[in-house]
Structure 1
C-alpha cells in the first residue's frame, strides 16, 4: 500500500474515533408500548369454529348479487385505486433507496471556441472535451443499508394498507347490501300493513255508519293507518339513499340495485383464531409494525449522519484541440474525500431527536392498533352471542303478539272488547316485526364485522417473518 493510502486510512480512522464520542446512544422503543396478548378470547372457545374460511368470505352468504357487488367494488372502487398508487410510490422509493448502493456515472462534454491576439497576430482556437465521471459514497456505517431497509418496510406497510383498504371496501359493500335487504323487507312489511290497515279502516267506517262502533274508534283507526302510511315514503327515501351509497362503493353511477332476500341469506360458519394470529392476519397490524420497523431504520440512518462520509470519485476523458490539430490527449483523475461534521449548530441532533420521536410515535401507534383489533374481535364474538339470544326472544315475541292479535280480533267481533284493543295489538305486532327484521339484519352484519375484525380470512402472505433486519430484532420486545 502506498504512503498516501496509509495516510488516508489513518486520517479516516482518526476522524471516526474522534467523532464516535459525539454519536448519540441508540434509544430502544418505549417498553410501555408492549401489549401482552391474551391466550384466548373471553367467550368460551367452544362457541366458535376454528376451521379456516375462504379468502372470498362474502360468498359464504350464498347470494350471487352480493358476490357480484363485492367483485365490482374491488375492481372499481376509487379508494382502492388511490391505495394502489401509494404502493407504486413506495415501490419506486425502494428502487431509489437501492440506487445508493451503486456508484453514479455521468457523461459530460464541453466545447470552446476562442479568438485572441497573440505575438503572431490574431488567432482562433477550438477545443472539445468528452469525459466520463464516476462518484460513489461508500456505505461505511450502514446508513444506506438502513435507508434501504426503511424503504422496504414502507413498501410492505403500503401493501398492507392496500389489503386493509380492500378488506374495508368488501366489508362496507356487504354491510350496505345487507342493510339494503333489511330496508326492502321492512318496506314490504309496511306496505302489507298499509293494505291490512286500510281494510280495517273501511270496516270500522261501515260499523260507525251502522252504529256498531264509536267515533273514537274511527279516529284511532285513521291515526294508525296514517302513521303506517307515513312510514312508506320514509323507508323509500332510506332505500334510495342506500342504493346510491352502494352504487358509489362499487364504482357505479348512483342508481337502482337488484336485490335478493334478507331471509334467503345463508348464515356463515363462525370463523375462529387465537389472539396471537391477529399479528399476521390483520392488515392494519402488519402495516403498523412495518411502519415501526421503517421509523427505527430511519433512526439508525440519522445516527450514521454523525459519522464521516467517504466519497470516491474518478474521471476519464479526452481533449481535442485545434492547437494540436485535434490530436486527442487523454486525461484522467481519481481520488477520495472524507466529510466529517464538526459544527452543525445542533442540526444533526435535532434530526436525530425528530427520528426518535417519530419511532416512538410509531411504537405507540402499533400498540393502539393492536388494542383496537383485540377490542373489535371481542365485540364481534360478543355480538354473535347476544344477537343470537335477542333474535330467539324476538321470534317468540312476534309469535306471541300474532296470537294476541288473533285473540283481540275474536273478542272484538264477539263484543267483549273495543276496537282500540285490536289497534293496540296491531301496533305492537307491527313494531315487533320491524324490530325482528332489524335484529336479523344486525345479526348478519355482525358476521361481516367479525370477518373484518379477524382480517377477512385473507392470507397475509406478504413476507412477514422474512427479510428480518436488526431493527426488527430490536423491536422484538414490543411483539407479544
Structure 2
C-alpha cells in the first residue's frame, strides 16, 4: 500500500511539474501597419470615392461568383485542378503539417517495446545469460522552461504560413488565368481590326494603282499605298505571334491543352465584373493571404526566441523502463524489473553558442517584422493602384470611344472626298491612321478595364478560398 501511494505521489509530482512549466517565449504583439489610414483618391477622379463599392467584400466573394463569364469560370476550374505551381503549394502545406506533427510529438514521451538477450562468458568459465522484455522511455525532456513548447509553436506557425502561401498561390492563379484569357480576347479583336484594315488598304492600293495607270495619281501616292499595305500585313503577323504566345501562356496556367468544348469567348465590352467595396486598409490588408503568411512567419520567429532563451536553463530528461528480466528465457515473465534514470544538464560553458543562438533568433524576428511591414506596404500600394485604375479607366474609355467615333466619321468623309477627287491621298491616309490608332486604343482600354477589375479582386484577397483550419 505504501509503495502504491509513493507511485501515485511521484506521478502527481511529475504532472505538476509539466503543468507548471513556464514559457520564455515573448508575448506576441502585431506590429502597427506602416500605411495611411485610408486609401488615396486620385485628383482627377469624379463622382463617388473609388473605394466605395457595393456587394460582398472580395475576401468573402467566391471566385465563381465574381467571374460571371462562363468561359472564365471553366478555365479557372481547370487551372485549380491541373496547375503545377498550385499543386506544389498544396504539397508544401502537407509537408509543413507533417513537420509540425513531428515537432509536436516531442511534447509527449515516446514509449517503445523492447526485447533483448545476451550471452557472455562468466569468470568461472561458464556462460552468463540475461533476457529482458518490457516498455522503455528514452530521454524524454521535461519541458520546464518551454523549449519544446516554443519549438512546437514555431512549427505550427510555419504550418499556418504554408497554408496561407497556398491560398496566396490560388489568388494569383485565379487572377492570372482570367487575365490571360482576357488578353487572348483582346488579341482576337485586334486581329479582326487589323484584318479589316489590311483589306481596306488593299482596296485602296488597287484604286491608287488604277489612278496611277491612268496618269491621275503620282508614283509617290502609289508607293505610299503599298507601304501602308505592307505595314498592315507586318502588324498582322506580329499580332498573330502575340496571340500564339498568349495562348501558350494560358495553356501553361491551365495545366493542359484547352478542351474543345469551352464556352465561346464574349467580347471585352460585354465582360462586366462585380463592383467591389474596398473597405478600410486596417481591415482589408490583414485578410490578404500573403500578409497573413508574413504574420505567421513573424509568429514563428517570435517563438524561436523562447526556444533560444530556454537553452540557458537546465534541461531535465527522463529515461526509464518497466518489464521483465531473467537469466533463463523460459522464466522471462516470472521476474519483474524496472529502471529509472533522470538526468539534469546545466550549461556552464559553450563558447557563446547559446548567446549566439539567442541573438540569431532576435535578428530573425527583426527580419520577420521588416518583411511583414513590407508585405503590408506592398499590399497597400497594390490596392491603391487598382482603386486609381477603377476611378479613371471608365472615364478614359468613354473619352477614347468618343474619339474613335469621331475619327471613324473623319475617315469616312476623307474617303468620300478622295474618291471624288476633292481631297489628296495624304489627307485620307492621315485619317485612316488616326482611326486605326483610336480603335486599337479602345480595345486596349477595354482590356485594361476588365483586367483592373480582376486586379482589384486579387489585391483585396479575393479567390483565396477557405483556410485549411481556423487560424488565430
Bucket of the pairwise TM-score, normalised by the shorter protein: 0.7 to 0.9
Partner of 2:44: none
Alpha-carbon offset, residue 161 of structure 1 = 0.5
Partner of 1:181: 185
Alpha-carbon offset, residue 115 of structure 1 = 5.3
Determine if the alignment matches structure 1 residue 127 to structure 2 residue 127: no
In the TM superposition, structure 1's runs of 4+ consecutive aligned residues that sit over 6 Å from their partners are 25-31, 254-257, 323-327, 462-465
- Does the Cα contact within 8 Å between 1:377 and 1:453 map onto a contact in 2? yes
How far apart, in 1, do the equivalents of 2:145 and 2:400 lie? Answer: 69
Q: Deviations over 1:362-382 (max 9, x none)?
A: 001000000100000000000
Change (3 A) 1:366 1:111: same
* Aligned partner of residue 141 in structure 1, secondary structure: coil
Change (3 A) 1:353 1:116: closer
Map 1:166-315 to 2 at 5 A: 166-253=170-257, 260-263=265-268, 265-272=270-277, 273-315=279-321
* Aligned partner of residue 212 in structure 1, secondary structure: coil
How far apart, in 1, do the equivalents of 2:258 and 2:81 lie? Answer: 17
- Does the Cα contact within 8 Å between 2:34 and 2:377 map onto a contact in 1? no
Equivalent of 1:383, from 382, 389, 392? 389
Change (3 A) 1:63 1:134: same
Change (3 A) 1:27 1:87: closer
In angstroms, what is the RMSD of aligned CA positions?
3.0
- Does the Cα contact within 8 Å between 2:114 and 2:136 map onto a contact in 1? yes
Alpha-carbon offset, residue 188 of structure 1 = 0.8
- Does the Cα contact within 8 Å between 1:171 and 1:449 map onto a contact in 2? yes
* Aligned partner of residue 274 in structure 2, secondary structure: coil
Equivalent of 1:156, from 156, 160, 183? 160
Change (3 A) 1:293 1:124: closer
Q: Deviations over 1:48-96 (max 9, x none)?
A: 3142156333654432221111111111110111111111111112212
- Does the Cα contact within 8 Å between 2:268 and 2:447 map onto a contact in 1? no
Unaligned runs of 5+ in 2: 42-47
Determine if the alignment matches structure 1 residue 147 to structure 2 residue 151: yes
Map 1:380-459 to 2 at 5 A: 380-456=386-462, 458=464
Determine if the alignment matches structure 1 residue 112 to structure 2 residue 118: yes
Map 1:298-377 to 2 at 5 A: 298-322=304-328, 328-377=334-383
How far apart, in 1, do the equivalents of 2:463 and 2:324 lie? Answer: 65
How far apart, in 1, do the equivalents of 2:86 and 2:166 lie? Answer: 7
- Does the Cα contact within 8 Å between 2:141 and 2:317 map onto a contact in 1? yes
* Aligned partner of residue 227 in structure 2, secondary structure: helix
- Does the Cα contact within 8 Å between 1:245 and 1:254 map onto a contact in 2? no
Partner of 1:471: none
Partner of 1:477: none
* Aligned partner of residue 78 in structure 2, secondary structure: helix
Q: Deviations over 1:186-245 (max 9, x none)?
A: 011111111111111111111111222221111111110110011111111111111111
Alpha-carbon offset, residue 252 of structure 1 = 0.9
How far apart, in 2, do the equivalents of 1:394 and 1:325 lie? Answer: 98
- Does the Cα contact within 8 Å between 1:279 and 1:285 map onto a contact in 2? yes
* Aligned partner of residue 357 in structure 1, secondary structure: helix
- Does the Cα contact within 8 Å between 2:132 and 2:325 map onto a contact in 1? yes
Q: Deviations over 1:385-422 (max 9, x none)?
A: 22222211210111111111122122223322111211
Alpha-carbon offset, residue 456 of structure 1 = 1.0
Alpha-carbon offset, residue 330 of structure 1 = 2.6
How far apart, in 2, do the equivalents of 1:323 and 1:131 lie? Answer: 14
Change (3 A) 1:324 1:281: closer
Determine if the alignment matches structure 1 residue 81 to structure 2 residue 87: yes
Change (3 A) 1:147 1:92: same
Equivalent of 1:34, from 32, 35, 38? 32
How far apart, in 1, do the equivalents of 2:121 and 2:368 lie? Answer: 65
How far apart, in 2, do the equivalents of 1:279 and 1:298 lie? Answer: 26
Relative to the length of structure 1, the TM-score reads: 0.85
Change (3 A) 1:321 1:51: same
How far apart, in 2, do the equivalents of 1:386 and 1:194 lie? Answer: 33
Change (3 A) 1:336 1:322: closer
How far apart, in 2, do the equivalents of 1:104 and 1:117 lie? Answer: 38
Unaligned runs of 5+ in 1: 14-19, 467-480
Alpha-carbon offset, residue 144 of structure 1 = 2.0
* Aligned partner of residue 111 in structure 1, secondary structure: strand
How far apart, in 2, do the equivalents of 1:35 and 1:215 lie? Answer: 69
- Does the Cα contact within 8 Å between 1:243 and 1:254 map onto a contact in 2? no
